[in-house]
Amino acid sequence: MKKGLIGCLVVGLLLLIVGGGLAFWFVARPVMSSASAGMDSMKELAKIGQADVEPKNTSEFTPPADGSLTAAQVAMFIGVQEAVQAQLEGKFEALKAKGEAMEAKAKGDGKEVGMTDGMALISEMTALVAQGKKVQVETLNRYNTSMAEYDWVRGQVYSALPFASSESVPEQLKNQVNENNVNLVRPHAEMLTKGMGSTMLGL
């Protein structure tokens, strides 16, 4: 791997996060390519994983056969998302700006972003996700909701979201879409779209 590739990947990754969508596991690729340089980042990633076992409610969750959300579940999900967004507001954008400035300076010097700087950005980024994860778990505990249920609700909410921006589901898709879920999600479509990046990180 070229020395500057990690820096480029980090900047691109931040662009995707701020833009509203990615799978967080892509971060692991550059981290694992350099074990010694990535130790701090791996420690932060470990914190993120550990947060998953912290909810007080650890009961199993059996989804309803028809896949329908309840108003209480949507309210819970919105409550968690609002708390996470309040914690992370502006922080990914600031880190993105930092990465872009770092990349611009390196190019101005006729160089590429070095591995050390790139890994430092990854460490900061994973630390932010760890902060969000902590808030997520704390909020789930207030709602007495298990992570298993939350994960299912998140999947149903974001399956409904593409159809929630319009007033009704197109006639030809009504047999393929859970209209109950769409109707429950519709009032929150703008906020959910804004927070899609953090949600795709598992938050």
- Residue 180 CB neighbour total at 10 angstroms: 16
Q: What is the pLDDT of residue 81?
A: 93
Rounded to an integer, the average pLDDT of 89-108 is: 78
Q: What is the pLDDT of residue 114?
A: 65
Per residue in 41-63, pLDDT tens?
A: 445 554 554 555 478 999 999 99
Most confident of 18-27, 87-96, 145-154: 145-154
CA contacts within 13 A on the Cβ side of 83: 20
Give the pLDDT confidence score for residue 46 in this predicted structure.
47
Q: What is the pLDDT of residue 47?
A: 53
The angle formed by the CA atoms of residues 27, 47 and 99, to the nearest 5 degrees, is: 40
pTM above 0.75, yes or no: no
Arithmetic mean of pLDDT, 57-74: 96
When pLDDT is cut at 50, 70 and 90, the band that residue 193 belongs to is confident
Of 182 and 25, which is predicted with more confidence? Answer: 182
Structure tokens at 75: 């309210």
Q: 92 with 18: CB under 8 angstroms?
A: yes
Report the percentage of the chain scoring pLDDT > 90. 32
How far, in Å, CA of 32 to CA of 41, rounded?
10
Tell me the average pLDDT across 136-141. 94
pLDDT tens-digit map of 156-183: 999 899 888 777 777 777 778 899 999 9
